[in-house]
């Protein structure tokens, strides 16, 4: 069973650079919205022997992932068991499966398609949501459809004013930017509007930025909102093609839980699986990937500057692949080095720009950079960060290379991101712990996209305290979200008097077992009633003063258990910056209390006994809640 889930995780990771968003009420005279989806998130077709168009991408497997994700492990159990001790062979078999699902996706050495493959026609009359929603076959799990459908249903935009840009995801960003320019002209003519609003996700963001780099002077764009754009590429292609995958098991399992939305706990099921198994499995795909995608221009457009020269010299012949090289040289030597300059020029020309990024995760295929799983924070935003798992020294104020205003705090509460060095410090939002392009699963992510794309309410990161520059992910599958009652998310101040915990699960009750703090001499007073229904919040008081702690950082850990199914005890940690006046000698500051207050180690005997008694009572309450649950009745 565990190895079967490995196969599912590996399949998803090979092609999982996706994209999307959300909005607020607009009137019918707003400029049209054009959504540019992420990598390989558009439909590709080919003619069959009867002359009829048939889909060659996305394979049905990917469109129905949310359904098969729950049953596939059992179906493939016997197959995976046979491969259990030979992950490289499993990887080879996996690649054969992908080739069987999409046999016509191979390209020639010059980047052209071997087979006559085409995308849906970019006719504005057929690529607007009013037309798409009337089609019998919906795009399934495609993120852009989820977003576009949402903003239409909520009244943020009219369905006939929201357009989807279709493209062949195998092509390079320069070629696709030229195609986007044509589509923008067509949408303007179709709607009679002078300008459009662009929403680009992941690779779609890179395509949109490349378009602006070359065609900004067309004066056709009012707004450009970028969600986790691949401005600087990633190490994805380099790791896969070279067979150097080092699988980030925990974070990848986390994104699978987010996609399936099933409140499952892969981290529990797979906790004994060696991450090396996943790495060897994916590295076993290397040879198949080379044959399948090494002549895709997009593979090189999506490669970071750091690895581009090595990758093209290794896999592209300078004569046979001259066109792939020529176009991607322009991307890497002209477009990527000038992203900040292009975005700032856009603002000077009156184009509103917003960048949405995610942080706090390990790179899925290996590397030390702070990332959103697939793209490093640096390559998305230009901002410097600590390495994954590290943080800046206590009291760090920021390099200030792009924003030197001392009244602006551009350091993340987790102490990992210095946004004062970003391309656009005042127009870049970060969500800690959010997966790449997964904001459509999160209320905050959807609302942030809504405000920036469809309203004029968020001029910059200082416009609204409810939409701060830094925020923690509120993805429902994580179980709990928490913040203090009177401070912006991620911060603590003397104004705060309580800690607010919310149950974010959609279908499960939880019981809060404990709340502990590291970095301050503070204890939390849990109320007697701690069982929360989905969406319910709990107000927890505390004794002590965070602002008197020597450290400017504090971490609060919430420990809880799900009640509607059999579950182990889970916890989630929230990082906070303490807002206070610092001493001049910041380098000598130390963390006053490295223990989580509430843990029994290091406590006086009586206090330890009291904590033990509370924990025993917690277990009793959990058992009582479980006995009364549907899960218990089902077992009977």
Q: What pLDDT digit, counting tens, does each position of 108-133 carry?
A: 999 999 999 999 899 999 999 999 88
- What local confidence, expressed as pLDDT, does residue 432 receive? 93
Q: Are 395 and 553 in contact (CB under 8 A)?
A: no
- What local confidence, expressed as pLDDT, does residue 99 receive? 66
H or E element that contains 515: strand 510-518
Of the residues 474, 490, 519, the one at which a domain ends: 474
**451 and 513 within one domain:** no
Q: Are 198 and 34 in contact (CB under 8 A)?
A: yes
Cα–Cα distances (Å) from 312 to 275, 286, 301, 322, in that order, read: 29, 16, 11, 10
pLDDT digits (tens, 9 = 90+) for 324-371: 999 999 999 999 999 999 999 999 999 999 999 999 988 877 888 999
Q: Which has more pLDDT, 145 or 248?
A: 145
- What local confidence, expressed as pLDDT, does residue 338 receive? 97
The gap between the terminal CA atoms of the chain, to the nearest Å, is 25
**511 and 418 within one domain:** no
**470 and 485 within one domain:** no
Cα atoms found within 13 Å of the Cα of residue 95, Cβ hemisphere only? 20
- What local confidence, expressed as pLDDT, does residue 95 receive? 65
| Statement: residue 93 has pLDDT above 80 | no
**114 and 200 within one domain:** yes
Q: Positive or negative, the Cα torsion across 283, 275, 9, 232?
A: negative
| Statement: residue 477 has pLDDT above 60 | yes
- What local confidence, expressed as pLDDT, does residue 75 receive? 40
- What local confidence, expressed as pLDDT, does residue 521 receive? 87
Residues whose CB is less than 8 angstroms from the CB of residue 219 and which lie 6 or more positions away in sequence, other chains included: 195, 349
Q: Are 351 and 221 in contact (CB under 8 A)?
A: yes
- Would you tell me the crossing angle of helices 286-293 and 87-101 to the nearest 10 degrees? 20
**470 and 525 within one domain:** no
**495 and 431 within one domain:** no
Range of the domain at 91: 1-474
Mean pLDDT on 10-21 = 42
- What local confidence, expressed as pLDDT, does residue 92 receive? 64
> Does the predicted TM-score (pTM) go above 0.75?
yes
Mean pLDDT across the chain: 79
Task: Indicate the pLDDT class of residue 240, thresholds 50, 70 and 90.
Answer: confident
**443 and 583 within one domain:** no
Task: Indicate the pLDDT class of residue 461, thresholds 50, 70 and 90.
Answer: very high
**170 and 61 within one domain:** yes
pLDDT digits (tens, 9 = 90+) for 25-60: 334 448 999 999 999 888 888 887 787 888 888 766
- What local confidence, expressed as pLDDT, does residue 293 receive? 86
Instruction: Reduce the DSSP state of residue 369 to 3 states and report it.
Output: strand
Of the residues 474, 489, 519, the one at which a domain ends: 474
- What local confidence, expressed as pLDDT, does residue 371 receive? 92
Instruction: Give phi and psi for 231, each to the nearest 5.
Output: -55, -45
The number of folded domains in the chain is: 2
Q: Which has more pLDDT, 342 or 602?
A: 342
| Statement: residue 248 has pLDDT above 70 | no
Provide the token pair at 621. 């309450």
**Choice among 17-31, 204-218, 370-384 with the minimum mean pLDDT:** 17-31
In whole angstroms, give the CA distance from residue 73 to residue 79.
Answer: 10
**380 and 291 within one domain:** yes
**Choice among 42-46, 103-107, 154-158, 598-602 with the minimum mean pLDDT:** 598-602
Instruction: Reduce the DSSP state of residue 484 to 3 states and report it.
Output: strand
**331 and 222 within one domain:** yes
In whole angstroms, give the CA distance from residue 335 to residue 313.
Answer: 20
- What local confidence, expressed as pLDDT, does residue 11 receive? 43
| Statement: residue 69 has pLDDT above 70 | no
Write the CATH number for 608: 2.60.40
Q: Which has more pLDDT, 465 or 604?
A: 465
**374 and 487 within one domain:** no
Residues whose CB is less than 8 angstroms from the CB of residue 403 and which lie 6 or more positions away in sequence, other chains included: 410, 419, 420, 425, 426
Mean pLDDT on 579-593 = 36
- What local confidence, expressed as pLDDT, does residue 479 receive? 85
- What local confidence, expressed as pLDDT, does residue 255 receive? 62
**Choice among 125-139, 151-165, 302-316, 333-347 with the minimum mean pLDDT:** 125-139
In whole angstroms, give the CA distance from residue 529 to residue 542.
Answer: 16
Strand order in the sheet with 531-532: 491-492, 570-578, 553-562, 510-518, 531-532
Provide the token pair at 132. 């798409």
Write 629-632 long-range contacts (CB < 8 A, 24+). Answer: 629/509, 629/563, 629/564, 629/565, 630/564, 631/564, 631/565, 631/566
Provide the token pair at 624. 């009582």
Q: Which of 402, 36, 420 is nearest to 223 (CA)?
A: 36
- Phi-psi label, residue 243: left if phi above 0, alpha if psi -120 to 50, beta otherwise: left
Q: Which of 108, 86, 106, 109 is nearest to 98 (CA)?
A: 106
Task: Indicate the pLDDT class of residue 323, thresholds 50, 70 and 90.
Answer: very high
In whole angstroms, give the CA distance from residue 433 to residue 504.
Answer: 15
**114 and 12 within one domain:** yes
- What local confidence, expressed as pLDDT, does residue 218 receive? 95
Of the residues 474, 496, 514, the one at which a domain ends: 474
| Statement: residue 630 has pLDDT above 50 | no
């Amino acid at each position: 069973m565990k190895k079967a889930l490995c196969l599912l995780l590996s399949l998803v990771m090979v092609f999982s650079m996706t994209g999307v968003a959300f909005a607020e009420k607009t009137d019918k005279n707003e400029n049209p919205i054009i959504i540019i989806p992420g990598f390989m998130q558009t439909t590709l077709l080919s003619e069959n022997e009867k002359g009829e168009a048939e889909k060659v991408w996305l394979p049905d497997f990917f469109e129905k992932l949310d359904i098969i994700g729950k049953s596939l492990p059992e179906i493939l159990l016997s197959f995976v068991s046979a491969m259990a001790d030979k992950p490289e062979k499993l990887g080879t078999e996996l690649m054969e499966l992908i080739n069987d699902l999409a046999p016509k996706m191979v390209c020639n050495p010059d980047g052209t398609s071997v087979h006559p493959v085409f995308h849906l026609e970019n006719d504005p009359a057929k690529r607007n949501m009013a037309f798409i929603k009337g089609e019998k076959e919906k795009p399934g799990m495609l993120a852009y459809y989820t977003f576009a459908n949402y903003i239409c249903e909520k009244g943020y935009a009219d369905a006939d004013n929201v357009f989807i840009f279709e493209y062949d995801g195998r092509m390079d960003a320069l070629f696709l930017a030229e195609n986007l320019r044509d589509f923008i002209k067509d949408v303007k003519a179709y709607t009679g509007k002078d300008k459009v609003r662009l929403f680009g996700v992941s690779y779609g963001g890179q395509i949109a930025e490349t378009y602006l780099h070359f065609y900004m002077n067309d004066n056709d764009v009012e707004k450009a909102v970028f969600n986790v754009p691949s401005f600087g590429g990633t190490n994805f292609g380099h790791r896969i093609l070279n067979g150097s995958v080092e699988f980030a098991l925990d974070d990848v399992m986390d994104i699978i839980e987010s996609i399936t939305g099933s409140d499952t706990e892969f981290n529990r099921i797979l906790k004994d699986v060696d991450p090396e198994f996943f790495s060897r499995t994916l590295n076993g795909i290397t040879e198949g990937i080379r044959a399948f995608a090494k002549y895709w221009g997009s593979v090189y457009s999506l490669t970071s500057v750091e690895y581009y020269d090595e990758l093209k010299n290794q896999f592209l012949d300078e004569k046979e692949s001259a066109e792939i090289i020529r176009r991607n040289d322009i991307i890497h030597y002209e477009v990527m080095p000038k992203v900040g300059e292009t975005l700032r020029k856009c603002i000077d020309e009156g184009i509103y720009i917003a960048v949405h990024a995610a942080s706090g995760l390990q790179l899925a295929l290996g590397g030390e950079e702070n990332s959103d799983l697939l793209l490093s924070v640096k390559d998305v935003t230009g901002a410097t960060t600590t390495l994954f798992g590290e943080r800046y020294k206590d009291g760090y104020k920021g390099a200030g290379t792009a924003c030197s205003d001392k009244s602006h705090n551009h350091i993340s509460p987790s102490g990992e991101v210095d946004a004062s060095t970003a391309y656009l410090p005042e127009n870049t939002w970060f969500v800690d712990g959010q997966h790449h392009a997964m904001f459509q699963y999160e209320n905050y992510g959807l609302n942030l996209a809504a405000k920036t794309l469809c309203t004029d309410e968020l001029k910059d990161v200082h416009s609204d305290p409810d939409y701060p520059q830094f925020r923690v992910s509120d993805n429902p599958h994580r179980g709990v979200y928490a913040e203090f009652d009177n401070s912006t998310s991620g911060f603590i101040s003397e104004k705060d008097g309580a800690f607010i915990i919310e149950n974010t699960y959609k279908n499960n009750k939880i019981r809060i077992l404990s709340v502990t703090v590291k970095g301050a001499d503070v204890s939390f007073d849990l109320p007697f009633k701690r069982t929360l229904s989905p969406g319910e919040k709990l107000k927890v008081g505390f004794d002590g003063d965070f602002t008197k702690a020597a450290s400017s950082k504090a971490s609060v850990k919430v420990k809880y258990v799900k009640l509607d199914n059999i579950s182990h005890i889970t916890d989630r940690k929230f990082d906070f910056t303490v807002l206070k006046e610092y001493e001049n000698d910041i380098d000598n500051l130390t963390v006053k209390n490295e223990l989580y207050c509430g843990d029994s180690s290091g406590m006086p005997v009586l206090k330890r006994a009291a904590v033990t008694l509370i924990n025993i009572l917690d277990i009793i309450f959990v058992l009582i809640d479980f006995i009364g649950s549907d899960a218990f009745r089902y077992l009977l």
